[in-house]
Structure 1
């Protein structure tokens, strides 16, 4: 079985690092900066949602304050599900860095996959610490562990529009 075909449905992989190396040029470092931008965006959204929860807690005579326990996780999941799983297939940080996510056969991710992707990312980071980045050093598509498990790939979005894709 070649590196270009997958055992799933006999489809060809849409993004070949040998034929289109520009799709993966600088992805690893820009992905780290995109993550830092997304952390700031999520923190700002969480702060705004925290203000709403505060007033909800006052309005509900203290019951609403229980939402503080799940607020950061909920905000992060919703942010990733609706941005990464949206029509542009990238979070705000990824857009700023010129990146987008695709499934291995070229399709855009959907919101549930995006939410599972971020959950696997946080799970792998908590277990493997920054060592999870070492996986990308050995991957020809510069994929991280959770990308490989879910069958996703992060590519340069500017190059993606210029390069025609071979789809089966």
Structure 2
């Protein structure tokens, strides 16, 4: 977010100066995110399994050793493409009435969405990092802060 200075120049607004989203936009976001992640994990597992099976059959079993990293790759593109798309949410987030935006309110580009997903899966290695959401006023997790995104209730 930017604001005009007294000298006519445009200056970036620091994260501390950004206004918080309305209360309605943050109501129930944490629990909805938990359910959305569960739905998305099921979807990514099904997509990964189908892709793994298809590639295994198409390569006559020769790619069996190369296919184990299929889940992280599918999760990366699943989150990146769906969050940066026109609906601004994964199918699980849409089911829970959530959307992802940049912290300044603009739609999240692919890079921010993909980085958020990678940092989310890395944060599972250190579960206490997920508790950051309880001390931030806008209910953002550490991976959201680092990717400069915020998860909000979808505007009606």
TM-score, scaled relative to structure 2: 0.85
Number of aligned positions between the proteins: 145
Contact 1:53-1:67 at 8 Å conserved across structures:
no
Q: Which of 37, 41, 44 is matched with 2:43 structurally? A: 41
Q: Distance in 2 between matches of 1:104 and 1:70?
A: 31
Aligned twin of 2:13: 10
Q: Does 1:116 align with 2:115?
A: yes
Instruction: Give the counterpart of 2:27 among 22, 25, 28.
Output: 25
Residue matched to 2:87: 88
Matches of 2:132 and 2:92, distance apart in 1? 22
Q: Contact 2:101–2:149 (CA<8 Å) still a contact in 1?
A: yes
CA shift for structure 1 position 39: 0.4
Q: Which is strand-richer, 1 or 2? A: 2
1:76 aligns with 75
SS at match of 1:101: strand
User: How many Å separate the matches in 2 of 1:29 and 1:132?
Assistant: 17
Alignment root-mean-square deviation, CA: 1.9
The alpha-carbon deviation at position 37 of structure 1 amounts to 0.3
User: Is the aligned partner of 1:132 residue 2:135?
Assistant: no
Alignment gaps of 5+ in structure 2: 4-10
**8 Å CA contact 2:116, 2:146 repeated in 1:** no
TM-score normalized with structure 1 length: 0.79
Q: For CA contacts below 8 A with separation 6 or more, give which structure has more relative contact order.
A: 1
Q: What is the distance in 2 between the residues matched to 1:111 and 1:66?
A: 29
Query: Is the 2:112–2:148 contact (alpha carbons within 8 Å) kept by the matching residues of 1?
Result: no
Which of 129, 143, 147 is equivalent to 1:150? Answer: 147
1:88-132 CA distance string (max 9 Å, x none): 110010000000011111111111211111111111221x22x22
Mapped partners of 1:73, 1:105: distance in 2: 28
Q: CA deviation at 1:57?
A: 2.0
Q: Equivalents in 2 of 1:120, 1:101: separation in Å?
A: 15
**1:164 matched residue in structure 2:** none
The match for 2:6 is: none
